[in-house]
Amino acid sequence: MVNGIVKKLPEDLVFLILLTFPVKSLMRFKCISKAWSILIQSTTFINRHVNRKTNTKDEFILFKRGIKDEQEEFKNILSFFSGDDDVLNPLFPDIDVTYMTSKCNCTFNPLIGPCDGLIALTDTIITILLNPATRNFRLLPPSPFGCPKGYHRSVEGVGFGLDTISNYYKVVRISEVSCEEDDGYPGPKDSKIDVCDLSTDSWRELDHAELPLIYWVPCSGMLYNEMVHWFATTNIMVILCFDMSTEMFRNMKMPETCSRLTHELYYGLVILCESFTLIGYSNPISSIDPVKDKMHIWVMIEYGVSESWIMKYTIKPLSIESPLAVWKKNILLLQSRSGLLISYDLNSGEAKELNLHGFPDSLSVIVYKECLTSIPKGSEYSTKVQKF
């Protein structure tokens, strides 16, 4: 019956109708006919589906938290949610990620992305690429680059995105290498840049001019406008930008009142109403005057033009550890200093605890829309794509 109806419809009309359906339905529709299966898995359809018009009802949340088990070792837990009326509804059971390198620490295990519905979970060695909509994932090979004896190499920033010129995905890592001095303190630092091409799973080191030192905070490594962004320091605080296609770096100025180096303030990057946005908040361990303890939200009206920063919101103290993401255009997701996930409505000023928590400073959130994008398979020697 269904096949008969399908055959009577023009192919262009079938294409447009299918674009309106969510991923879960499309996965089922592949069983209706061979023609539909071929169409839904075609590059043309997948790309059109990625770029379809969506609204806040199409937003989903991937939530990562660290917890301690009975052996006092850390575990990373992934939770997947849809949201209706500001209520988070689980999509399927939580996942215990067993691939992370360290069981003694869970702070530097950020989620990065999304890019075309793909998200990466990283630590200093391991990178896991996943598509929450299709429930596929793959472990990427670790970078082969180390450092000579007597030196220390630490990963300070990670990014993930699409090279739109070559049309393949990349992971970029910024490491700092320093020699170990006799007094136990690190010597002068030098930046090293590793890039992994996911079409072949091959790592390479980039030649680059001298870079500012990465200033690591939880809410950075953000992909926007085909660029990855981190905070960095010269004689002032700047935003370091990396173009995923040209592999060139440049510095972006922060608002003048945010650029001075201070231990009292931290910063985070989010996308607010499709605009590049900077959040300034108090260092969780600073002894700042409670009267001055406010969160400031700056929006860049014209991306890349530092003169276009405007202060959009000033928020009363919330005692947060860090901002995490923006959901439904006006809800700021934050982690508290005790490890609770908090929502703050920028329109009403209402703050809520969302009954989700983890070890303090271990939370990470990605707001994404479902896509059919395939996990890159790499080379014939690469690890295989798996289901979770």
Query: Virtual CA dihedral for 99, 103, 107, 113, nearest 10 degrees?
Result: 0
| pLDDT for 278 | 97
| pLDDT for 102 | 66
Encoded tokens for 109: 């295990």
Q: How many helices (H) and strands (E) does the chain have?
A: 5, 26
54-379 is a CATH 3.40.50.300 domain: no
| pLDDT for 84 | 76
Nearest to 119 by CA among 204, 223, 274, 270: 223
Assess whether pLDDT exceeds 50 at residue 119. yes
Q: How far is CA 99 from CA 115, 126, 186, 364, 386, in A?
A: 22, 7, 30, 17, 13
Residues in contact with 243: Cβ distance below 8 Å, sequence separation at least 6, in sequence order = 226, 227, 249, 250
pLDDT digits (tens, 9 = 90+) for 241-250: 999 999 999 9
Residue type at 44 in one-letter notation: T
Find the helix or strand (DSSP H, E) in which 13 lies: helix 11-18
The overall average pLDDT reported for the chain is 89
Nearest to 246 by CA among 195, 203, 211: 195
CA distance 363 to 343: 13
Encoded tokens for 54: 């969506």
Cα angle, residue 305 at apex, residues 304 and 308 outer, rounded to 5°: 125
Strand 127-131 to 136-140 pairing: antiparallel
Residues in contact with 117: Cβ distance below 8 Å, sequence separation at least 6, in sequence order = 50, 131, 132, 133, 368, 369, 370, 371, 372, 373
Cα angle, residue 218 at apex, residues 217 and 224 outer, rounded to 5°: 95
* Percent share of the chain, pLDDT over 70: 93
| pLDDT for 154 | 84
**Band of residue 217 on the pLDDT scale cut at 50, 70, 90:** confident
Look at residue 371 and give its three-state secondary structure. coil
Q: Note the pTM of the prediction, 2 decimals.
A: 0.91
pLDDT digits (tens, 9 = 90+) for 14-35: 899 999 999 999 999 998 888 8
Backbone dihedral angles phi then psi of residue 55, each to the nearest 5 degrees? -135, -175
Count Cα neighbours of 333 within 13 Å in the Cβ-side half-sphere: 27
β-sheet with 386-387: strand ranges across? 111-115, 118-122, 127-131, 136-140, 386-387
Going from N- to C-terminal start, the domains of the chain cover: 11-53, 54-379
Residues in contact with 228: Cβ distance below 8 Å, sequence separation at least 6, in sequence order = 159, 160, 161, 172, 221, 222, 241, 242, 244
CA distance 111 to 325: 11
| pLDDT for 1 | 42
CA distance 147 to 176: 10
Higher pLDDT, 199 or 262: 199
Let me know: does 74 contact 96? Beta carbons within 8 Å: no
Assess whether pLDDT exceeds 50 at residue 290. yes
Q: 3-state secondary structure string, 170-220?
A: EEEEEEEEEEECCCCCEEEEEEEEEEEECCCCEEEECCCCCCCEECCCCCC
Assess whether pLDDT exceeds 70 at residue 128. yes
Encoded tokens for 55: 């609204």
Encoded tokens for 173: 């890592």
Task: Please give the average per-residue pLDDT across 264-283, as a whole number.
Answer: 93
pLDDT digits (tens, 9 = 90+) for 373-385: 999 998 888 899 9
CA distance 205 to 107: 26
pLDDT digits (tens, 9 = 90+) for 135-188: 999 999 999 888 778 778 888 999 999 999 999 999 999 998 888 766 666 667
pLDDT digits (tens, 9 = 90+) for 48-66: 999 988 888 889 999 999 9
**Band of residue 320 on the pLDDT scale cut at 50, 70, 90:** confident
pLDDT digits (tens, 9 = 90+) for 66-118: 988 877 788 899 999 998 777 899 999 999 998 877 666 666 778 999 999 99
Nearest to 345 by CA among 86, 26, 75: 86
Encoded tokens for 160: 């993930």
CA distance 382 to 388: 18
